[in-house]
Structure 1
Amino acid sequence: MEHILVVEDEVQLATLTEDYLKASGYRTDALYEGIQVIEWVKANDPALILLDCMLPGKDGVSLCREIRTFSNVPIIMVTAKIDEVDRLVGLEIGADDYICKPCSLREVVARVKAVLRRHAVIPENFIQDPVSEEQEEVLHLDKARFKATLKGSDLDLTAVEFAMLDILAASPGRVYSRAQLMEAIYRDNRIVSERTIDSHIKKLRKKFTEVQPDYELIHSVYGAGYKLEY
């Protein structure tokens, strides 16, 4: 039974959210202050976190960034602030999805299921080719821990970035269109623009450059998409 952490300072809303999640077969816990979250996550290793942006003690955006320093647990941000949306849409803080209040609790459960599916299932239409020893030395992906290394150097990837790299690395040299990447990563049929894929690729390249300045791994194919080549 997957364990969901609900972080919400409105106790009644947290309780209702827990009730809906439990009715869908999840095990839940709730925290009402931001200051409690980091220690709890390290001790309990939840399957997913529903994280409110506005919390007493420590805000959700800061918590998300801090969690990403030690865990790739899926995080869905919940916000009632319109000015937060632009930052969350880009998922620049390391979140996997976001929900705007007020929202239907049925929608919350649906988002939870969708994000968990994306983390649990490797896309069926992407078949991994054997990886040579030379390639293993260049790029290593630990799917169990959502950890990636490039030539032995750790890459600090978000869950979405890891999923995209995993897809590209599955078949080195194969060109994936933006549409294929969107379909594989956003399996909840969420509407995203092709620019979102370009943004994730740009961030991946930047992180590669930070650990290996002279090494190019992801290549653009004009009019077609992207490919990974060693």
Structure 2
Amino acid sequence: MARDGRSNLSEVTASRFVPPGRPASVLLVEDDAEISRMLIDVLHASGFRAAAAASAIEMDRSFAADEIDLVVLDVMLPGEDGLSICKRLRGASGIPIIMLTALKEDMDRIAGFEIGADDYVTKPFNPQELVARIRALLRRSYADRHGPARAARALGFAGWRIDCVARQLADPTGVKVSLTSAEFDLLLAFCRNPGRVLSRERLLELTYGGLAGPIERSVDVHVSRLRRKIEQSAGDPALIKTVRLGGYVFTPSVEAL
């Protein structure tokens, strides 16, 4: 526990986000008690372990006390707001994060994606839509660990190594590079389709499984974040090229390892 009373998120979320023979654990960070009770009931009925926190302080206590697999995070919270919490969580780990917001402007959602949110749900919403998004995000996060691999267990490109099962990326010197769930899924989609021009719509299909909702501009945000991590110069990318009016193309050759 840190001196200011916050748990050390780099320790409590560090992580292996695969539930070891147990239902996935979802933490709902929401200060509206009525919404919180309703969603907890829906999550329990849908087979999840679920807990609620009304503030950042309560969230930190939950992380210290239990393994959390996914966070549903309201933007408007008392004290530390959801965007600040998202940035703090993302600085410590790649835990999947779904933001809840009453804000309808694309730029507000873009801001969340910029700091590492994996998905957004805008209030008011159908609780079953949120459940579907949680399942889709967990499925993307865990798919390569559970069940048969649909491709090589590891891939290599330009000296980099992507472990499809452990969902880890290592640079040419062997140093692990931290990726969010969305960034990893995007990189994996590129590695499995090298040399092909992929539209934003196609990238959404490959990374979100066709689930409607995420805006196309979120792809640009995640590409930008990914470039900063794997390109020698994010301003002059050599690995992920932009194709005017087309989308993106992953230029290096990719081999199974």
TM over 0.5, shorter chain: yes
- Which residue does 2:85 correspond to in 1? 63
Distance 1:219 1:104, change over 3 A: closer
1:216 lines up with 2:238 in the alignment: yes
- The one-letter code matched in structure 2 to 1:148 is L
CA, structure 1 residues 80+14, in 2 after alignment: closer, same or farther (shift >3 Å)?
same
Cα distance between partner residues in 1 of 2:165 and 2:60: 21
SS at match of 1:148: strand
Alpha-carbon distance change, 138 to 212 in structure 1, aligned in 2, over 3 angstroms: farther
Shift of 1:37: 2.0
CA contact (8 A) 1:34 1:57 kept: yes
Question: CA shift at 1:17, angstroms?
Answer: 0.5
Partner of residue 161, structure 2: 140
1:3 aligns with 2:51: no
Of the three residues 11, 16, 19, the one matched with 2:41 is: 19
Aligned to 2:249: 226
TM-score (norm 1): 0.78
Query: Match for 1:177: what amino acid?
Result: L
Q: Hey, what does 2:191 align to over in structure 1?
A: 169
Segments of 5+ residues of structure 1 without an aligned counterpart are none
2:62 aligned with 1:40 = yes
Give the drift of 1:21: 0.7
Report the Cα distance in structure 2 between the residues aligned to 1:207 and 1:189, rounded to whole angstroms.
27
- Compare the two structures and name the one with the higher helix fraction: 1
Aligned alpha-carbon RMSD (Å): 3.3
Percentage of identical aligned residues: 32
User: What residue ranges of structure 2 are gaps of 5+ in the alignment?
Assistant: 1-22
CA-to-aligned-CA distance 1:150-175 (integer Å, 9 cap, x gap): 2234434332111111222235x442
Structure 1 runs (4+) greater than 6 angstroms displaced? 210-215
- TM-score normalized with structure 2 length: 0.71
Matched, 1:182 2:204: yes
**Pair 195,108 (structure 1): closer, same or farther in 2 beyond 3 Å:** closer
Aligned counterparts of 2:51 and 2:214: Cα–Cα separation in 1: 31
Aligned equivalent of 2:109: 88
SS of 1:205 mapped into structure 2: helix
Q: What is the number of equivalent residue pairs in this alignment?
A: 223
Q: Residues 168 and 121 from structure 1, CA distance in 2 versus in 1: closer, same or farther, beyond 3 angstroms?
A: same
Residue number in structure 2 paired with 1:50: 72
Letter aligned with residue 66 of structure 1: R
